[in-house]
Amino acid sequence: MTSLMDAIREGENGAGKDSKFPHAPPEWKRELALAAARREGLKPGEDHWEVLRALQEYYARHRETAINIRELNDALEEKFHAKGGRKYLYQLFPGGPVAQGCRIAGLKAPPGAVDRGFGSVV
């Protein structure tokens, strides 16, 4: 079975894609994302979907390169600056706009998106 990122890189034809999510990974479905969000205690509204679209678009534009966590964070903060930037993003995704957002968007979070030692004594 191919990973979502492998499928994106192979340039699937997009048959059966959700038109509101043109850059979604081929195996991603809005219903699966909704179920994943609910498991994580989120009730996705249009603001959540907008961030997921932004993540999927960013990944699609950077198919040929490794995703840099700092650049991705900066791009999200810039895109959503008018709504409150980082604070706004964390209100929507308390588990981290990149880490939690990527899980729901069907994307592999880049290295460094989750610091398992943060706040602990490891």
pLDDT digits (tens, 9 = 90+) for 93-106: 999 999 999 999 99
Distance CA 55, CA 59 (A): 6
DSSP 110: P
Distance CA 37, CA 51 (A): 13
Q: For residue 29, what are its two tokens?
A: 């479905």
Average pLDDT, the chain: 85
Looking at residue 16, what is its pLDDT? 56
CB 101 within 8 A of CB 93: yes
Residue 90 has pLDDT above 90, yes or no: yes
Residue 2 has pLDDT above 50, yes or no: no
Phi, then psi, of 98 in degrees rounded to 5 = -85, -55
CB 23 within 8 A of CB 51: no
CA angle, residues 24, 25, 31, in degrees to nearest 5: 70
pLDDT digits (tens, 9 = 90+) for 36-55: 999 999 999 999 999 999 99
pLDDT: which is higher, 13 or 75: 75
Entry pTM: 0.80
Phi, then psi, of 57 in degrees rounded to 5 = -65, -40
